[in-house]
Chains A and B, each alone.
Chain A
């Protein structure tokens, strides 16, 4: 018998402590790395903090950087509740971004509400379709979803790249990108002259929806049952194949929103290679947030802050922006190896389990 099953609330608190400890540990290690490399960690972190939260604009920047991570985090979390490891967020968000850009361009001239809604939905549908395809291959052909998703990532992002290098390439443009979407069809900015748009509200709304889905609906319950124990779920009359495909479609839609909000929020067009790996960072965000939608809001904020602060850190303290990737990598490492963190927590928190 395993030592599972502690009452609900302390379990949540415990996971929170673990996630916090992972973050603290990685910041500590990053400090050491900086010391060894001869930088001033205090100055660096000070600059980072300043860059992330020092002014209204900095905060806006942090929030805007956290939006795509939020969605890819949700995407990964939802799939993993259903027992699927969705590493295909990157492909899903590329196709979604392309679909929403094409839709907005095609419907040019129609009322704002119509175009905005249609292109959001088109993006979700495209992302969902890529997700469902991966789910179907897993469920019907019994091929591991990780391998399929990695291949699909390549296929889809190369396809998108081809489209904006060829047929959809903006006239007179040097770079591979689509035509610009008229600014009336984009998300409104929350703080003027910043990149923070109302897409943030969409993210928060989806966190609430996802929470509700798993807490109170049959669909959410079926997904969890399949993820927890597929055999028992099948005995209870839940179709494993349908649930796997469905949850991957849902996950793909959420990942798709990351692409949609980048296109309709930040760039106003599809730009080749716009994602610096949101799909993959989303995995870390979800795991650190222990697959809880509100936890993910918090961790995406943290990752957003790291990104936003890195610029300032680099020109104030001269520490390369790559340091942020080191910190993110360390966080992932610690989250993935709970043993290390549990040692740490136990020593710090006194005798928890004796």
Chain B
């Protein structure tokens, strides 16, 4: 790709980028949120048409690229957000749009080909399972298999590991290595430097829409990569002042998270405390999140917020309590993607007299506050009129954070708050949570990232198969003991604090 320039209105997302990938390599594309990575790849895949520059494949310049043509040229893409049809099976999803047979689909032939590919790369997919039943990791494999089935030689993966558990991520990396051995070329976007150094041959770094470096992974260090991405030195440590705990703000009593869990969960979060829930995703995190927010009902158990039992309140009454809620799936649960940022800011604030008076939206106050929060939280966008869906993945996350924090909450429910964020933004989010803690908010942090849990939490609970394995002060855990608990192994321990 040469001299690629792509503008969105006044915003230049890609500014004369040269990007070159060699046959049979794993090439990592790094950069801050909004650096233009997804945009560049969408250009390569023909989803976006650049204002300037050209794409060459095997030395041939390609004009008027479309996704269909890209597939014919052997380019496949797995998007940041999946594009599978939920009620179809894996096999059906894979062959969708490219079914063998003239009129009637030749299932036998399709199955044989897909199975062969699946075996070749050790995918371990049950082809007849409906996609809706699969874990994220499996869905991703289906997406990859789909590109392979269509004959892709160059495969673009946009932040594939952001939503994976550590084990799934490790498995994905080994699949990628496998594919490289078999001659495929892979372009891999990630924010995780360790992964990058693990798997990449070469690395291109984008910053502010420009390509700033191309280096070989063998000689790179994490500090160097971080500096190139951000443009200045990055301090990885953050400061967390000691703070006395206040009163109990949220008390969860006897709530059953998973139907087949052996016991219920109970815990307390105090004012000025960050309570971290560690654990591999899929162990009840989603349920805990939705039960606290009232999105799913539970039988039995109680959840007290100060003196009121949340489970007896309507959604709207809960919202009046001004919880800050950062859902794990921001696009599905926190944003209206075709609607302007300004109106997205209103979402959840629509009963605040500052923004709506006598049923009428106060446009001016809304716009001013939206812009102010966006500046404060460094949400990079052209205007408040831009639609939420047009923000880069990381900036969407920052926007949700900005909106929720601006409510000056007493209680914060932060689920996977740093997923998909660059290192600078992660640090920023950490600082915001710590600031809220200093202001006396009670914070329930649900995260699959151990680094989040360790850096932020005052108290840590480990969730496994819907049960809290152990709850202790942060200092009482180390990396190893927590990993064991996350895998379901409870050590014989004298001081069981599991209430």
Contacts and interface: CB of A to CB of B under 8 A. Distances in A.
Given A8-B385, A235-B334, A228 B348 contact: no
A7 interface: yes
Contact of A216 (B327, B361, B390): B361
Interface string A221-248: 1101100110111111111000000000
Interface residue tally of chain B, by bracket? 35 or more
A218 B339 CA distance: 15
B299 interface: no
Interface residues of A, number: 28
Interface string B319-345: 110000101000011111111100100
A126 to B, nearest CB: 26
B49 A7 contact: no
B195 to A, nearest CB: 22
B386 A239 contact: no
Contacts of A221: 343, 346, 350, 361
B385 A237 contact: no
Interface stretch (B90-98, B118-126, B310-318): B310-318
Contacts of B49: 353-354
Contact of B314 (A7, A8, A225, A239): A239
A2 interface: yes
A1 B315 CA distance: 31
5 contacts: A3-B48, A218-B356, A225-B336, A232-B332, A232-B336
A232 B400 CA distance: 12
A237 B346 contact: no
Given A231-B333, A237-B315, A354 B64 contact: yes
Given A4-B389, A239-B315, A216 B9 contact: no
B10 to A, nearest CB: 10
A236 B319 contact: yes
Contact of B42 (A1, A236, A354): A1
Contacts of B173: none
B360 A225 contact: no
B392 to A, nearest CB: 9
Interface in B273-320: 293, 295, 314-316, 318-320
A217 interface: yes
B241 interface: no
Given A218-B356, A232-B333, A235-B348, 19 more contacts: A1-B42, A2-B389, A4-B387, A5-B337, A217-B359, A219-B359, A221-B343, A221-B350, A221-B361, A225-B336, A229-B332, A231-B295, A232-B335, A232-B336, A234-B315, A236-B348, A237-B316, A237-B348, A354-B49
Contacts of A7: 9, 385-386
Contacts of B337: 4-5, 228-229
B81 A1 contact: yes
A231 B348 CA distance: 12
B355 to A, nearest CB: 9
Interface string A1-24: 111110110000000000000000
Nearest to B386: A5
Contacts of B363: 216
B268 to A, nearest CB: 24
* Shortest Cβ-Cβ A-B pairs, 10 listed: A237-B319, A5-B390, A354-B49, A236-B348, A5-B387, A228-B336, A236-B347, A237-B316, A218-B356, A4-B389
B424 to A, nearest CB: 22
